[in-house]
Structure 1
Amino acid sequence: MKKFFVIFVLFALPLGAYLFFASGVNNFARLPVLTQEIYQLESFRSLEDEEEEVSFDGKITILGFPGGEPLEYSNNAYHLAEKIYDRYAEFKDFQFVSVIPSGSEAEVEKLQDKISKVIDLKKWKFVTGTSEEINALFDSLNTDLELTGDLSTPNVFIIDKEGKLRGRDKDDDGNELYGYDTGSIFVLNNKMNDDVKVILAEYRLALKKYNRENTEK
């Protein structure tokens, strides 16, 4: 009996662990696409440089909607800066985009001044648009969430390089997870952080495969 138990521990458990994690890799190698086509950013104007064209194309984007009173978003912005932006801002082709209503520029500058004291905002873009443009962008995400009256939400969204919304097709409650609540440290640490890692790994693996195939030609 003891011999059987030792054999089980030495061989069966490692094999089971391998199969479990191998299955996990297959299931979670890609972050699910939840919405195929969303409204593009070309109609929005960059707050930093009016000549700059901010786009989803070729970028992994964290999209946010601070609304018409962005200073009210300060705590959420700090959470996002510390838990996500600071960890991934140095990755190439990675950006944050915050969409605000036209006329809120002065408030945004105050928010930028606050955040810039703890992080470098070079990868964090702020763009302005009309209420119609903002609603069109948000509605195109096709989520179960809503904007408030000042066009804000505490949730941010992961948009891939092809302009598709990524998230979880089955969260802990069995429903889709479209956006990540920046008011929750738990969500940022345990869900969004993991999902950003997954999509970054997905693109790194795709790039390695592309480079390898071209090297072999």
Structure 2
Amino acid sequence: MKKTIVLVTLFIMPIVVYLFFASGITNFGKLAMLTHDVSEIDFADSNVALADKITVLGFLGSDVSNKKGNAFNLNQKIYKRFGQFKDFQFVMVMPKGTEQSVDDLKAQLGQLSDVSKWNFVFGEEDQIKGLFNSLGTNLSLDANLGTPYVFIIDKERILRGRDDDEDEGVKYGFDTSSVADLNNKMEDDIKIILAEYRMALKKNTAQREK
């Protein structure tokens, strides 16, 4: 039994990890760079920042209870699968005054997973709109400063997505109210961007060792 476990660990797991990353690269290639110079989060009373992190960025709005289902979908389908990767984070930008509702939401999410990489930052209306507008998408915030869509921002603060999506043409974000969108598209795109940085790290390491 012990020999079997050792063999699985040494030989099978590396293959699984390789296939995990390779599947995304094979299906879609490199994620398109849609918007450069997304604004940094410089209004938050925290150390949360977009630079040097792979970020899933969202705007839940002031009606937190109405977006609870979206947060749970995102947690179960994306966060639980990728949250353990280094330099990966979730950032939800919230209107000031929602702090208690956010605490309640985090407590509920915490019953399902470790929420240490779920970051909530709070801003004024103009600050939230400014950050959202810097994404340069064809989407908009609702009257509560929220949207069901989340966005992938890379370490250089570039919005990443698809410029040849079969359904939308240019796909800026992912609809957290749609399990199909999370399962069929966002999951693959997260795989791709993680693989990009993993491959870049291996290349840089190899060059330094020469």
Any runs of at least 4 consecutive aligned residues in structure 1 with deviations exceeding 4 A, and if so which? 24-27
**Bigger mean CA deviation after superposition, 107-116 or 84-93:** 107-116
Does residue 68 of structure 1 match 2:86? no
| Higher Rg | 1
Query: Deviation at 1:28?
Result: 3.7
Which position in structure 1 is the counterpart of 2:124? 130
Which position in structure 2 is the counterpart of 1:104? 98
Instruction: Please state how far the C-alpha of 1:26 moved relative to its aligned partner.
Output: 8.1
Distance 1:27 1:87, change over 3 A: closer
Residue 39 of structure 1 pairs with residue 39 of structure 2: yes
Aligned to 1:191: 185
Deviations 1:32-67 (A, max 9, x none): 11001111112122xxxxxx3111111000000000
Instruction: Give ranges in structure 1 of 5+ residues lacking alignment.
Output: 1-23, 46-51
Q: What is residue 142 of structure 2 aligned with on the other side?
A: 148
Match of 1:117 in 2: 111
What is the DSSP-based 3-state SS (H/G/I as helix, E as strand, rest coil) of the residue aligned with 1:63?
strand
Question: What TM-score results when the alignment is normalised by the length of structure 2?
Answer: 0.86
Distance 1:87 1:149, change over 3 A: same
Answering whether residue 151 of structure 2 is matched by residue 166 of structure 1, we say no
TM-score by length of 1: 0.83
Match in the other structure for 2:171: 177
| Partner Cα separation in structure 2 for residue 193 and residue 200 of structure 1 | 11
Whether 1:87 and 2:117 are equivalent positions in the alignment is no
Q: CA RMSD in A?
A: 1.5
